[in-house]
Structure 1
C-alpha cells in the first residue's frame, strides 16, 4: 500500500463513520451548512492538492514538506473535524508560519537552565519556527516543527490547548497526529452516543469490541501484557468495556493513578468487588469524604448505602475480602497466616488457589478486591501482582509463571539493614516466647490484666496508641507491641522506637514473667546516634527465672553463663565502627542460629499485626528513690 492509498483508506473510513454518526433528526438550526455538504458527499476533506500546488507551497516555505503531510495533501487539501476540537485543518492555501503568535514560548518550557532536557530545548524554539496547521478550532493550536525531524524526514507535530491544563502534546509525525485525532473522534462519539442513546456502530467499533473480548480471555489465560496492550488501544477509541477491564490489570500492577474502574463501581454486581479498592485509596490519601460521592455516580440507593458501609469498614480496618468458592477458602486461610506475620506462607496459599478463582461476571478478570483487604492487600506487591495476572484462572489454560521471590529474609539481622527513616531503624525491643501462641502473649505480658489483642494495625499506627496510655504512672514504660510468629514454635512481641530509653538501673525484663513453663528471649537495641554510644541488651529466661544475659554499652556487662555463640566479647569488638552496627548484627545472627528464630520483616515494615499494651519494662521506684516527670505545654503568644 502506498502512502496515498493509506490516506485514502483512512480518510474515507473516517468520513463515512462521521457521517453515519450524525443525527438525521437534528434541528436545521443546529446543523452547519458545511456539514450538510459533508453529509451529502460523505467526505470530510477537500479535493486533492495538485503537485503544482504542493511545490508552490514548498517554495513559499523554503522547505520540502514532511512525507506524511505531503502524501495527505495528495488525497485531501485540508481536513474538517480533525478530532473534536479542530474544525478546519490547513491545506496548501492556509499553511503559515506561527512565529509564536500565541505568545506561548515564555511559558513552555519556560526558562532553560542546566537541567533542561533536549526535549525542552526543542520545545523552546518550536513556537518561533513551526508551521501553523489549525485554521478553525476551539482554542487549539496545531503546529508542525521543521526543527524536530526524525530519520524518515517526518516533522514533529505539537497540539496545545490552554483549557487542557497540560503542556503541549508531541506527535512524531503528521500521520501520528491524524491517527490520534481519528481515535479522539471515536472516543467522543462513543461518549456522545452513550448520553443520547443513539448507537454508534460500524466496522471499526465492531472489530475493537471483538478485540476487547479476546483481551478479556487473554487476561484470564495469564497473558495480561497482551491483554493490557489491546485494551489500551480500544480505550483510546473509547470502547466502553476497555477501561474497567484495563483498570483491574493496572491496579494489580500497583498503578493506582486514575484507576476508577469506569462504571463497574456503580454496578451492583461488580461494586462490592471494586468499591473497597477505591475506598482503600480514598482513606490512604486522607481525602475528604465529600470526594467519595464521585465514585457513586449512577449507583442505586442500595449500592450507595453499601458503599458508605464499605468506606466505614475500610477506614476502621475491619473490611474483609471474602470471595466465594475454593479461592474464598484460600483467602480465609491466607488471612490467618498473614495476621501472625507469615506473609510468604499467605502468598503461597493464595498462589496455589489462583487457578480456582472465578469472576463474578464477564467484566471481572482478576481478584482485584484483594488489594483492599487490610491484611492481604499489602501482600500484593507489583511483583506479586504480575505473578497473579500471569497465572491462568477461571478455567482458562496457559503457561504457569515462575513464582515471585519471597519477601521475608531469614533470621533477625535484617533489623540492622533498614532505611534510616524506618520505625525500627533507630531502636526496637522485643520478646520471643517458645511454645506459646501469639494470642496467648497478652496473658503473659499484658498490662492491667490485658488478655486480648487489638485489631491488626501498622507499626506506625501502633506508635500512636502510646499517646493513649493515660492510666500509666510517671515511672512506667509500657510498650504497645506488635505480635506474631517468630519461626517454628516461637512467638514474638515487638515495639519499634520505644518511648523510653534503656536504663540498667530501672529495667525489668518482661521475658522473666513470659517464660513461665517455657523459655523467653528479650532484646532491646538503641543504636548510637552519633552523640551517645548505643546500647544492646539480650537476656534469656526460663520458667520464671533469668538464666543469662548481657548489656553492651561502651563495654559488656554479663550475668550468668552465656553460651559461647552469644559471648558479647566475641560479638562486639572495640574496632567496629559504631555507625555500621556490626556487633548488633553478629548478635542477632548468633541469636537466630542459637534458637532458630526469625522476625517477619514484611509484616512489621509494610503489613499489619495484632497489638496489645505490655506491663512496664521499668520497675517501680523503691524506698528513697524518686523520678522526674517532664511535661511540655505549647502555648500561643
Structure 2
C-alpha cells in the first residue's frame, strides 16, 4: 500500500456509506448507530494540526504518517471491523503500559531462546505500545513504536483474548484499517443469508465480484498467479465463489488449507471432484468418512446413493476419477500406465489432454478430482501441478508452459544410491526383487504366488501392504520367508516384483525364485541387497526357461558362492566387490545394477515405488523347507 496516495476521505466515506446501507432495515440499533446511519458517517470531525500537536506533546513523540493522515480526516472511528467498536482519536489514544497485566506472560513466552527473531521482537509490546482501542469485544489494537518501517510507519498489532494466537501484525495503521474494512465486508456477506438481512451490494462488492470473474478467466487461461492474487483479495472481502476457486488453485499450487467450507451436493462438481477431495481430507487426518451427512438419503435424495459409493471407494482406496469426455478417456489411459508404475507416461498422457478439459460449472477451474484418485494423485508432483495450472484449458487460449521433464531416473542403480527407496535418507535401503521377461505384472502371481489362488491386491501405498495381506498376523517362522512384492512394468516385455527391507539373507537356505519366474520360457533375474554394517550383502541369480544360468553372493567383500557362467561384466571382481569397505560395496552394487539394466534393457520406476500405489501379492517362500530333523523357530505373538 502506498500511504502517500491513499485517499483517506474517499476510503472512509465509502466505508461509512456501505455500513449505513447495510443497516438500512435494522431495528435494534443504538442511538449512536442510528445517528451514524442517518448522517452516513462513522467518524468524527477532522482533527486540526493543533489537535495532533497537543496529542504528540502529551505522548512525547510524533505519530506515524498514516495515523496522522487518518486523524486529519476523522478524529476517531466507530465500528472498525466487527470487534472494535470505538477507535481512538487525538484525545483517547494513550500508552498501554501493560494495563491489561498480560506483559509478563507474553514476554516469557516470546523471549524463549528458541523463539524466532520476529517472535522475540514482540517482547515488551504490552509496556511500550500505544493503545488505540477504546471500546471493543476484548480486542486490543496496539501501535508499536519499536516496529518501524523505512517509511516511518509503526506496525499495528491486534490481539483478542478469544483468539488462541499471537497478535496479528499489520505493517501500518492504513493496512490495519483496510483489513478492518475487509472484515466488515466478510461479516456482512455472511449476514446475507439471515432472515430480514439487507442484501449487501455496493460498489466494493461489485468491483470484487468482477475481479472474481476476471480471476476465473485468468485461471482457465493458465495465468494462475494472477488469478490467485485477485481471488485472495476478493476472499478477504468475503465474496462468494472466491474461496471455492482459491481452494482449487491451492489444491494444485499450495499451500492448500484443509478445513475450508464443506462441499454441497447442489454444486455440479460435487460427486466428481468435491466429495472425493473432502473424503480424502478426512482420511488424511485419520477421521472416518462413515456417517457423513452427504450419505443421508432424506437430506440429499438425488445424490446420497452415489455419495455412499464414493465414500466406500475412498475408504478402500479404490476410487477412480471419472471426469468423462475426451479428458476422461485420457485419465483412464493414464491410470492404466500409472498402476503399473509408469508415472512418467501417465503424466505425458494427462498433460496432452489438459487443453481439452472442460469445467463442470462456472466455479470449476481445474481437474482437482485427480488428486482424489489414489493411483493418479502421486503422478501429480508439485512441478507437474504447476504445469497443469499454467496450461490453458476450458476453452481459453494462452501460451503453453514449458514441459516438466520425466521424474524417474531410469535404470536400476538409483536403488542403491543414498535415499534410493526412501528419499531424504542418507543411506540406501535393502530390498529384494525379481525381474521377469515375457510376463505381464498381473501374471506374476501365477508364476510366484504363495498359493494357486493368489491374486493382486488393489494399488496400495507401501506402508499399507503388510496390513492388507497379513491382517492380524501373529505367527512367524524362520523358514517362512514369503515376500510381499509390489509389481509393475520394468521395460519392454519385462515386469518386476520388489520388496523393501526383507528379512535377512540366509545363504544355506535361500532358494532363488528366478527358476519359477522364468518357467514361461523367458529370462528372470533376482537381486537381493542388505546394508547391515559391517557386512553388506549383494546377491544376483538368473534363469531362463526354468533353468538356472548363474548366481553369486558377495558379503563384506568376500564371494560366498558362484555358480554357472557369470557374464564378464557381472563378475564380482569386475564390479569391484573385492574390497571390504561400505563405500566400495555401494559403488560395486551400483555398477552391478547398471550392468543388469543395460544388459536386459530394464529399469524400475522410482516415483511409483517411493510415493505411489502399486499392485502387490504374497510370493512363494524364498527359503527352502526345513530338512528332516532340522530345527527351526516358530514364534506366536500373544
TM-score by length of 2: 0.93
Paired residue for 1:604?
A: 609
Task: Report if aligned partners of 2:474, 2:637 keep a CA contact under 8 Å in 1.
Answer: no
Paired residue for 1:584?
A: 589
Task: Report if aligned partners of 1:527, 1:535 keep a CA contact under 8 Å in 2.
Answer: yes
Pairing 1:572–2:573 present: no
Render the CA deviation track for 1:276-329: whole Å, top value 9, x for unaligned.
Answer: 011112112211447955999x97344355434322211101111001110000
Q: Where do residues 179-198 of structure 1 align in structure 2 (5 Å cutoff)?
A: 179-196=178-195, 198=198
Paired residue for 1:213?
A: 213
Distance 1:5 1:366, change over 3 A: closer
Pairing 1:551–2:553 present: yes
Paired residue for 2:104?
A: 106
Q: What is the rounded CA distance, in whole Å, between the counterparts of 1:169 and 1:52 in structure 2?
A: 32
Task: Report if aligned partners of 1:576, 1:582 keep a CA contact under 8 Å in 2.
Answer: no
- The Cα shift of 1:472 comes to 8.6
Q: What is the rounded CA distance, in whole Å, between the counterparts of 2:489 and 2:476 in structure 1?
A: 28
Render the CA deviation track for 1:349-374: whole Å, top value 9, x for unaligned.
Answer: 00000001011111100000000001
Task: Report if aligned partners of 1:86, 1:136 keep a CA contact under 8 Å in 2.
Answer: yes
Q: What is the rounded CA distance, in whole Å, between the counterparts of 1:158 and 1:312 in structure 2?
A: 47
Render the CA deviation track for 1:411-441: whole Å, top value 9, x for unaligned.
Answer: 1111123539939943211110112111111
Paired residue for 1:621?
A: 626
Distance 1:552 1:4, change over 3 A: closer
Pairing 1:522–2:526 present: yes
Render the CA deviation track for 1:570-597: whole Å, top value 9, x for unaligned.
Answer: 2234446316722222211121111111
Paired residue for 1:79?
A: 77
Distance 1:39 1:394, change over 3 A: same
More off after superposition, 13-22 vs 246-255: 246-255
Determine helix, strand or coil for the equivalent of 1:352. helix
- The Cα shift of 1:632 comes to 4.7
Note the residue ranges of structure 1 that are not aligned, 5 or more in a row.
Answer: none
Paired residue for 1:391?
A: 391
Distance 1:415 1:233, change over 3 A: same
Task: Report if aligned partners of 2:86, 2:134 keep a CA contact under 8 Å in 1.
Answer: yes
Q: What is the rounded CA distance, in whole Å, between the counterparts of 1:2 and 1:390 in structure 2?
A: 34
Paired residue for 1:446?
A: 449
Paired residue for 2:535?
A: 533
- The Cα shift of 1:258 comes to 2.7
Q: What is the rounded CA distance, in whole Å, between the counterparts of 1:206 and 1:148 in structure 2?
A: 36
Q: Where do residues 353-368 of structure 1 align in structure 2 (5 Å cutoff)?
A: 353-368=353-368
Distance 1:622 1:57, change over 3 A: same
Q: Where do residues 138-217 of structure 1 align in structure 2 (5 Å cutoff)?
A: 138-196=137-195, 198-217=198-217
1:44 aligns with one of 42, 67, 86: 42
Q: Where do residues 249-268 of structure 1 align in structure 2 (5 Å cutoff)?
A: 249-258=249-258, 260=260, 262=261, 264-268=263-267
- The Cα shift of 1:609 comes to 0.8
Distance 1:527 1:58, change over 3 A: same
Distance 1:363 1:268, change over 3 A: closer
Task: Report if aligned partners of 1:184, 1:237 keep a CA contact under 8 Å in 2.
Answer: yes
CA RMSD between the two structures: 2.4
Task: Report if aligned partners of 1:466, 1:479 keep a CA contact under 8 Å in 2.
Answer: no
Aligned residues: 626
Distance 1:5 1:179, change over 3 A: closer
Determine helix, strand or coil for the equivalent of 2:632. coil
- The Cα shift of 1:23 comes to 3.9
TM-score by length of 1: 0.94
More off after superposition, 457-466 vs 39-48: 457-466
Task: Report if aligned partners of 2:484, 2:617 keep a CA contact under 8 Å in 1.
Answer: yes
Paired residue for 2:20?
A: 19
Q: Where do residues 624-635 of structure 1 align in structure 2 (5 Å cutoff)?
A: 624-633=629-638
Distance 1:295 1:210, change over 3 A: farther
Note the residue ranges of structure 2 that are not aligned, 5 or more in a row.
Answer: none
Determine helix, strand or coil for the equivalent of 1:136. strand
Q: What is the rounded CA distance, in whole Å, between the counterparts of 1:480 and 1:157 in structure 2?
A: 59
Q: What is the rounded CA distance, in whole Å, between the counterparts of 1:180 and 1:266 in structure 2?
A: 33
Paired residue for 1:66?
A: 64
